[in-house]
Amino acid sequence: MKTPVPDYLAHVLDQCHANTEGALADYIPELAAANPNRIALALSTIDGTIYSSGDDEVEFTIQSMSKPFAYALAIQEHGLAQVLEKVGVEPSGEAFNQISLEKERSIPKNPMINSGAITTHSLLPHKKTVSRAEHLRRFLSELCGRELTFDEQVYQSELKTAFRNLSIGYMLRTVGVLEEDPEQIVHGYIQQCAIKVSVKDLARMGSVLANGGKDPVTGKCILDRLRYVVRYLAS
């Protein structure tokens, strides 16, 4: 029996083509030059079968979609209790790049706003020869089953306009949330956001979250402390 999923995705894509609302992210020069007409959808079942439609092979930088995966890796590296000492879990109701902290503890309110994401990046594993961003790139590559790369042009472009994130980094260092050079941490976070993925990559990465941390294709358990991450995303 033929599955209706491909036809359904194509139908949804046709409906979305007519919507021309929104605008390119002009705060990063390289992203402002992106083709606004590209559109794609991908869906993964719990057994790892991926259906997709549209520009599904086109890569783009992961940007803020890296945040929950970095959070998961930080928890796996340090444990939930230690991560919660640095990053809260309260909804902020503020812009993603707001320069603010929890009033009581002077820590970022949650890991999905930039202050929390920068702090989370500082908690990623690293060595002298392997950066935090490289560790995350390898981790995401394992999640999606192929070798991902960095978009050097987007990375360099964002570095030139990273004044707000640098301000956030210095604020975090001032209150003791960051324990290292804030510029180094912010630069690493920006590189994290410049990892290239396709919609099919994101669907497979999401299937690992939906499957309790186990890769539905290989059967390998990649994440063993996933429940809290999924619960936070659901909120």
The pLDDT of residue 193 is: 98
Question: For the chain, which domains are there?
Answer: 57-234 (3.40.710.10)
Q: Which long-range contacts (CB under 8 A, 24 or more apart) does 211-216 make?
A: 211/46, 215/48, 215/142, 215/143, 215/145, 216/44, 216/45, 216/46, 216/47, 216/48
Q: Which of 89-98, 161-170, 182-191 has the lowest mean pLDDT?
A: 89-98
**124-161: per-residue pLDDT in tens?**
999 888 999 999 999 999 999 999 999 999 999 999 99
Q: What is the mean pLDDT of residues 44-57?
A: 94
**107-122: per-residue pLDDT in tens?**
999 999 999 999 999 9
More confident residue, 231 or 148: 148
What are the phi and psi torsion angles at 179 (to 5°)?
Answer: -110, 5
